[in-house]
Structure 1
Amino acid sequence: MAAGNGVEELAWSPGSAPRPPPGLEAKLGSLVLLLFLPLAFGLAPLCCFRQPPSSADAGSPVVLSLVSCFAGGVFLATCLLDLLPDYLSSISAALEGLRITLQFPLPEFILAMGFFLVLVLEQVALAQQEPSSPCSSSSSVPEESRALLPPGSIQSASPPPGAGARGAVRAGLLVLALALHAVLEGLALGLQEAEGAVLRVCLALLLHKCAVAFSLALKLLRGRLRPPAVAACLLLFAMMSPLGVGLGTVVAAGAGPRQRLCRGVLEGLAAGTFLYITFLEILPQELGVPQHRVPKVILLLAGFALVTAILFIKI
């Protein structure tokens, strides 16, 4: 037995193949789900609408809005009860391992930087796609078209003649902003070690990404993009979270103190992303619409309660 253990230890020495990351099977399953389910939801409008949908007949906004509120509750609970405690514990252990004593609140600062990173990138991208003149934008945008898309991303349902190229650029910038979101969201999943944590983060991301993919497809179709271009944008968007999962898994495999510090920093940035999506993207847009306030609050609490129950019973 001793010799066998010695051989096993040599097999996992630094010069040999790396040890499989914790929760690898759950991460691989989550990666597949995060790729194909949002892609399927995004391609659904291409199959449902023979013509680009107008703002008056687009999809099922009430269902999307309610799903978004449920996803907001899941995001909030996942961030406050799962990601934040793990992040603070991880970065504290990494700083202690490196014997670094701080007078500055570095963990909280990293969290804020994750929040501002997404805020700045998204606002710069959205500023580039806004109409150049106030008269070219719609003054009354239907409430349902705002669901699950970043603030300021909604344009007029009937673009003026000659705006096709500009609309394509704006659509590309919108997809880029959402793709940056998706990479950081996937990073949060890839950095998790426990299988239960991986599944909880995967649930939150699936709810959010599927609804966003459906809304994004409607948005691109209203912008008069051709179906092949819409499908390419959706494929790019769907691939970003799996990319983040892969990057996070590679970083989480590191065992040295510096690798643990790097992982802690990335966890903080990812947790800041969850805060941004919850408090600046989902809740203001959904709760700011006067219709269905009580069902939205109930579903928000239900999403929070679901993650709380999962954490309580240690699934």
Structure 2
Amino acid sequence: MWSLLAVKLGCLVALALLPLLCGLLPAALRRLGPPGSAQHWRSIVSCAAGGVFLATCLLDVVPDSLADLRDELRRQKLALDFPMPELILALGFLLVLVTEHVALDCSEPRSDEATLLLPPGLEEQQGSRRPSRFRSLVLTLALSLHSIFEGLAIGLRDTPGKVLQLAGAILLHKSIVAASLGLLLLQSRLPPRWLAAALGTFVLMSPLGVGLGMVVTHGSGCSTTTARSMLQGVAAGTFMYVTFLEILPQELGSPAGRLPKVLAVLLGFSGMAGLRLLG
């Protein structure tokens, strides 16, 4: 059986390489143009990723985080007549919500600020102008914040099975987002140097989060255990944000191909639920 450290290091490398390749894919395929069928399949795969995230969030990350936080409160002998574990999850959710919308408010005003995963062809059909360079960089920073906490959740897992299950969900989602981000940066016509820097920043944030989680997990002492439980709760809150306010609304909000999208969500959810059932 692989050691926990080896599994986390392998996931760290995978989270750096695969999203990077997916992010560079739009530039490699630019000469072929943006075929509508490719956008359709991208949307279907993104819905499947949403189902994977939904199952991972509700059946793994959130229950484990709440259990760890309650155990930590009992260990600290803190009997509070207040749902403190749920509050920590809500703080993680609100942290990303507030940070992202403040960042978006600093960019140029648009009615579709959160349409990173919206097919670019649809934006052109609606007459939207090309995304500005500044807005693209702001979105990159906001998504990088997501990535840090996603990686942190992996680094805080305590068994190889949980690490692999969570890493698989994150890897699928981040690869899709990396491809969409690469396409958005191309549309913004950023200089190659800035495009590479923005994409590299986004790609490296998840491995950074994994490393931070590993440092916290492999520490010792009462304060380390408390910090790990609280950070895991915050990370669970960010998972809720990504699942319910980023992935599913963006894809299911479009009227095109609703039934295949719903089936893709169910397929992704069922697959992860089955893996969870099997342990």
Whether 1:64 and 2:65 are equivalent positions in the alignment is: no
**2:8–2:155 contact (8 Å) kept in structure 1:** yes
Match of 1:144 in 2: 119
What is the CA distance between 1:155 and its match in structure 2? 9.8
Q: Percent identity?
A: 49
What is the CA distance between 1:227 and its match in structure 2? 2.7
Counterpart selection for 1:282 from 247, 250, 261? 247
> Quick one: which amino acid aligns to residue 37 of structure 1?
L
CA shift in 2, pair 1:127/1:87, >3 Å? same
Match of 1:38 in 2: 19
**2:93–2:240 contact (8 Å) kept in structure 1:** yes
CA shift in 2, pair 1:146/1:271, >3 Å? farther
> Quick one: which amino acid aligns to residue 98 of structure 1?
Q
> Quick one: which amino acid aligns to residue 91 of structure 1?
L
Whether 1:194 and 2:159 are equivalent positions in the alignment is: yes
Cα deviation 1:265-287 (Å, max 9, x = unaligned): 11111111111011101111111
> Quick one: which amino acid aligns to residue 86 of structure 1?
D
Match of 1:297 in 2: 262
Task: Give the superposed CA RMSD.
Answer: 2.6
**Segment drifting more, 31-40 vs 249-258:** 249-258
Whether 1:238 and 2:198 are equivalent positions in the alignment is: no
Q: Which has the larger radius of gyration?
A: 1
Whether 1:126 and 2:104 are equivalent positions in the alignment is: yes
> Quick one: which amino acid aligns to residue 93 of structure 2?
F
Q: Say which SS state the counterpart of residue 101 (structure 1) adopts.
A: coil
Hey, which of these two has a bigger chunk of helix by percent? Answer: 2
Match of 1:228 in 2: 193
> Quick one: which amino acid aligns to residue 52 of structure 2?
V
Query: How far apart in 2 are the matches of 1:131 and 1:234?
Result: 23
**TM-score, normalised with respect to structure 1:** 0.80
> Quick one: which amino acid aligns to residue 227 of structure 1?
P
> Quick one: which amino acid aligns to residue 119 of structure 2?
E
Match of 1:16 in 2: none
**1:191–1:263 contact (8 Å) kept in structure 2:** yes
Cα deviation 1:22-70 (Å, max 9, x = unaligned): 711111010000000000000111122149x6xx758821111111111
> Quick one: which amino acid aligns to residue 160 of structure 2?
E
Match of 1:311 in 2: 276
Whether 1:49 and 2:14 are equivalent positions in the alignment is: no
**TM-score, normalised with respect to structure 2:** 0.90
Question: Structure 1: which 5+ runs fail to align?
Answer: 1-21, 148-153, 160-166
CA shift in 2, pair 1:143/1:114, >3 Å? closer
Query: How far apart in 2 are the matches of 1:175 and 1:142?
Result: 13
CA shift in 2, pair 1:59/1:211, >3 Å? farther
**1:91–1:260 contact (8 Å) kept in structure 2:** no
What is the CA distance between 1:156 and its match in structure 2? 3.8
Q: Say which SS state the counterpart of residue 106 (structure 2) adopts.
A: helix
Match of 2:174 in 1: 209
**1:72–1:278 contact (8 Å) kept in structure 2:** yes
